[in-house]
Amino acid sequence: MLDIKFVRENPDIVKQNIKNKFQDEKLELVDQVLALDKENREIKKEVEALRANRNKISKQIGALMAQGKKEEAEEIKKQVTENAQRTEELSKREKEVEEKLLQIMMVIPNIIDPSVPIGRDDSENVEVQRFGEPGVPDFEIPYHTEIMEKFNGIDMESAGRVAGNGFYYLMGDVARLHSAILSYARDFMIGRGFTYCVPPFMIRSNVVNGVMSFAEMDAMMYKIEGEDLYLIGTSEHSMIGKFIDTILPEEKLPYTLTSYSPCFRKEKGAHGIEERGVYRIHQFEKQEMIVVCKPEDSMMWFDRLWQNTVDFFRTLDIPVRTLECCSGDLADLKVKSVDVEAWSPRQKKYFEVGSCSNLGDAQARRLKIRVNGKNGKYLAHTLNNTVVAPPRMLIAFLENNLNADGSVRIPEALRPYMGGMELITVK
């Protein structure tokens, strides 16, 4: 959410930013905000004047009563009553205006960084860099669920009977591999200086509204019936929510946390044949990283965060690339974002396995995350990035480490978490 003062002083910049995000239907919201802001300030000014006048009249009444001029005092009391009625009317209108103002401000997108490429959707994202050599073996690579089935490692049929589509049972060595990747990711991030955390897996609506847009919430989150609680779609929401309505000592910044959690998503809509299996599901587990820092440090941390993911995947011999998300592909709260994509030898292309985002002070403004600095209080900056989400990452892992005989090689970095295993063999 933007600062109302910034919108007031820079309406043309706000409108151009909306155009850059190809959300022209929101242009009229800027004028609505300006009109509501003007009315709100006028109301406050009149209320302040009425209160000052009330204090003045109260003193006059006291003086007249002391002089025995009761009739004159009663006449002036009528003004007090009229002022009180007007103040009540204005206060009611002020509340309505401020609620409407906040509602609209929550929809106006954040100002994107000047370095963000302008484009309509993810088809116009820009490749930044590749890490590792993408290869295609001289043998056929089966679909990922077929690879898992050869190890008796997945049961989607039973999961369908138990929970419906979009769920799965992982079994045996595949289930162990899934857990090993998460454990390795945890230790990898601890080794990078991050504090490990297991957060709440449900959050209240005020946290939801603080960390994401209404459109994202509707598309992603499951609501707990009869409770002010939502199942988290990703743990950074719960992690950023940890700092809600707090004043952080500047000397303690940055806060660098890495978290494990299950995640739950609606995943509305049809997604095509390549997104069956465990690619797009309602339940998965994830290792995440978040940073709460000073504004001047956020771009430095942004680069460090996505590099962590790249380094993690490379230790597992998986080629990856980074894509700079274009303006039209950025969620409304984001200032800048990079997707990390892993190589799929079967499809002979890259696919998304993580996303790194700098949200500037948007979440901090909504959640009132402030920093007590040397020169006064200011809003923190927040960032998040996926370390690894194993169900989708398993696809890249199995394809890139598959051998011609159907076995899967375990990279050296992961072997301690797999009991020393070097291979997963066909059952």
**SS3 assignment for 273-316:** HHHCCCCCCCEEEEEEEEEEECHHHHHHHHHHHHHHHHHHHHHC
The domain made up of 4-105 has a fold known as Helix Hairpins (1.10.287)
Catalytic residue among 213, 261, 344, 355, which? 355
Question: Residue 170 and residue 187: Cα distance in Å, rounded?
Answer: 23
Question: Residue 341 and residue 353: Cα distance in Å, rounded?
Answer: 5
Q: How many CA atoms lie within 13 A of 280 on its CB side?
A: 14
pLDDT at 70: 67
Question: Residue 328 and residue 136: Cα distance in Å, rounded?
Answer: 32
pLDDT confidence tier of residue 270, bands split at 50, 70 and 90 = very low
Residues 294-347: pLDDT tens digits? 999 999 999 999 999 999 999 999 999 999 999 999 999 999 999 999 999 999
Q: Which residues pair with 285 in a beta bridge?
A: 262
The yes-or-no answer on residue 352 being catalytic is yes
Catalytic residue among 352, 407, 409, 415, which? 352
What average pLDDT score do residues 359-370 get? 97
Give CATH 1.10.287.40 domain extents, the chain: 4-105
DSSP letter assigned to residue 229: -
Report the share of the chain in percent with pLDDT over 70.
94
CATH class of 122-424: alpha beta
The yes-or-no answer on residue 355 being catalytic is yes
The yes-or-no answer on residue 392 being catalytic is yes
Give CA angle at 371 (367, 373), nearest 5°.
160
Residues 58-112: pLDDT tens digits? 766 666 666 777 667 667 767 777 778 888 899 999 999 999 999 999 999 999 9
Give CATH 3.30.930.10 domain extents, the chain: 122-424
Catalytic residue among 280, 321, 346, 370, which? 280
Peptide bond into 345 cis (omega under 30): no
DSSP string, 138-175: SSPPPPHHHHHHHTT-EEHHHHHHHH-TT--EE-HHHH
pLDDT at 74: 65
Tokens of 315: 């230790």
Which residues are within 8 A (CB) of 38 and not within 5 positions of it... i.e. 6 or more apart? none
Peptide bond into 254 cis (omega under 30): yes
Catalytic residue among 186, 365, 370, 392, which? 392
Query: Is residue 274 over pLDDT 60?
Result: no
Residues 148-192: pLDDT tens digits? 999 999 999 999 999 998 899 999 999 999 999 999 999 999 999
Catalytic residue among 265, 321, 366, 370, which? 265
Cβ 116 vs Cβ 372: under 8 Å? no
